[in-house]
Amino acid sequence: MGKEIGSAGFTADDFARFSQRLQLETTHAQAAYARGEFADEGLVAGFELEAWLINEHFFPVPLNVPFLERMDSPLVVPELSMFNVEINGTPQDLGGTALSQLESELTATWQQCRRVAADLGVSVIAIGTLPTLRERDLSLASMSPFKRYAALNEQVLRLRGGRPLALDIAGIDNLSLTHADVMLEAATTSFQVHLQTPVSEVARTYNASQILSAPLVALAANSPFLFGRALWHETRIPLFEQTVACCEPGHSEHARVTFGSGYLAGDPTALFAENLSAYPVLLPFEEPGPVHAYAHLRLHNGTIWRWNRMLIGFDRDAVPHLRVEQRVMPAGPSIVDMIANAAFFYGAVRILARQSVAPESRLPFAVACDNFYRAARCGLEAQLVWVDGRRDNVAELLLRELLPMAHEGLIELGLAAADIERYLAVICARLHSRQNGAAWQLAHYAKYQDFFRLAADYLEHQRRLMPVHEWPI
């Protein structure tokens, strides 16, 4: 979905031709996997960070067009709304000082974003959902001027028969409303972590990533408020699932935003086959090029937002590779917090994916799914069922079992000892303090009852590059 398309209007013939190409490319990908044509070496780390542009009153401001023109950076690109942007990291081979290199580059890009924003009289902030956001901010007038976004809105509403999007979230408070278009999605900004994996390990890695989604979303939660209501610790999860809902309630396994329909049995291209069979095409834009470029498969895959998504990419020598995109983490609270979250994920997923007894054989998919939504709702207070069958507080599980696992995995990957110590110390301190971004926001609002002061203090702490466990209330 990050690539612009050539047209926003489609005919029945467009859908027919696109579907034919999609079928050919999906079949080709399955055959290429069977023939061993996907890369089977190397581990590469990367990320995408979505951020907000806000004015002096802490409301979102739709200025990403002049902002991006002044940034003039291939690492900073548009998002759905004109008050959001996406910041990318240069992929790094996962070893040595890869993590500190990712942090250094992100810090440099972020400081440049801050300077450019200041020149425009605004600020840039990384937070899952902006607590000062108003529903009227999420209108089509604020949609970024790209055909792919207009087409996405048009096609989602077409599949819904023109019915507005319905939002219904029960949490600390409850929120129910309807919205005329997909712009509610702009309220859900994330920190998406990528892990390119040897094809022989990618199915196990994908399953391990699904299992880790629950503790990871609890650890990173940073989106407790929406439209003045305290909802889930990571409200971004139900919000995103409902903002592009093309099917009726009760069909969540084939919703456009979903935890998925099950673990992978072995062949990772089974996910692309499921895309073909279970998901109507949203953007039938044809691209010239060979079948093995997978242009249509990749575009269709980009309109299905599994919380763990399999992606096809290409190495410098045009060899196709597969990578796992872990999508459950919100943006913020600080740069070091986000890189620490990534470090935890990379280490823990490495060990889980290589255990002699596959954890997916010990934890039913339905339990992993239930864990995920419990963790998104309750954050570090959540009770989860782990692979040993025990129900435990997620923070205790993280401290007792998963943090040591992440440490072991990062050592096995050959990460620099100083980086391992730095980033896992941030995770450890966050767990001991029980203060992630969501907990800090909830405590701050409970004390001051002021969303504007919350946003101001949050922005100040973020600018000082402080990890969230050190943030005063």
Sort 151 into a burial class: Cβ within 10 Å, 0-12 / 13-18 / 19+. Answer: buried
Q: What is the pLDDT of residue 244?
A: 86
Q: Are 33 and 175 in contact (CB under 8 A)?
A: no
73: left (phi over 0), alpha (psi -120 to 50) or beta: beta
Mean pLDDT computed over 18-39: 98
Residue 398 pLDDT exceeds 50: yes
**Residue 108, SS3?**
helix
Eight-class DSSP state of 128: S
Question: Apex CA 297: angle with CA 296 and CA 301, to 5°?
Answer: 115
- With tokens 């910041």, the residue in question is 87
What is the gyration radius of the CA atoms in the chain, in angstroms? 21
Beta-carbon contacts of residue 59 (< 8 Å; ≥ 6 apart): 132, 133, 134, 137
Closest to 323 (Cα-Cα) out of 341, 359, 349, 288: 349
Which pLDDT score, from 0 to 100, does residue 234 have?
98
Q: Mean pLDDT, to the nearest integer, of 165-178?
A: 96
Q: Are 280 and 274 in contact (CB under 8 A)?
A: no
What pLDDT is stored for residue 1 in this prediction? 45
- CA dist., res. 387 & res. 173, Å (int): 32
Query: Which domains, from first to last, does the chain contain?
Result: 12-468 (3.30.590.20)
Strand pairing class (305-306; 257-258)? parallel
At 3, the pLDDT band (50, 70, 90 cuts) reads low
What whole-number distance in Å separates Cα of residue 168 and Cα of residue 381? Answer: 22
Three-state DSSP at 174 gives strand
Structure-token pair, residue 109: 């890009």
pLDDT at 454: 98
Burial 50-73, CB ≥16 within 10 A → b, else e? bbbbbeeebbbbbbbeebbeebee
Sequence length of the chain is: 473
Percent of the chain with pLDDT over 90: 93
Cβ atoms < 10 Å from Cβ of 265: 10
What is the model's pLDDT at position 7? 53
Encode pLDDT of 96-139 as tens digits.
Answer: 999 999 999 999 999 999 999 999 999 999 999 999 999 999 99
Which pLDDT does position 4 carry in this prediction? 46
Question: Which residue's entry shows tokens 């939504």?
Answer: 373
Average pLDDT taken over every residue of the chain = 95
Average pLDDT over residues 367-381: 98
Strand partners, 383: 393
* pLDDT above 80 (res 251): no
| Residue 283 · residue 152 · CB < 8 Å | yes
- Asked whether residue 442 carries a pLDDT value surpassing 80, the answer given is yes
Please tell me the distance from the alpha carbon of residue 125 to that of residue 59, in angstroms, as a whole number.
11
Kind and range of the H or E element at 425?
helix 417-433
- What is the share, in percent, of the chain residues with pLDDT greater than 70? 97
pLDDT surpasses 90 at 420: yes
Neighbour count for residue 171 (Cβ, 10 Å): 18
Per residue in 84-108, pLDDT (tens digit) is 999 999 999 999 999 999 999 999 9
Alpha helices (runs of H) in 266-364, residue ranges in sequence order: 270-278, 295-301, 335-354
Q: Rounded mean pLDDT of 20-27? A: 98
* pLDDT at residue number 253: 54
Query: Does residue 281 surpass a pLDDT of 60?
Result: yes
pLDDT at 65: 97
How far does CA 349 lie from the centroid of its chain? Answer: 16
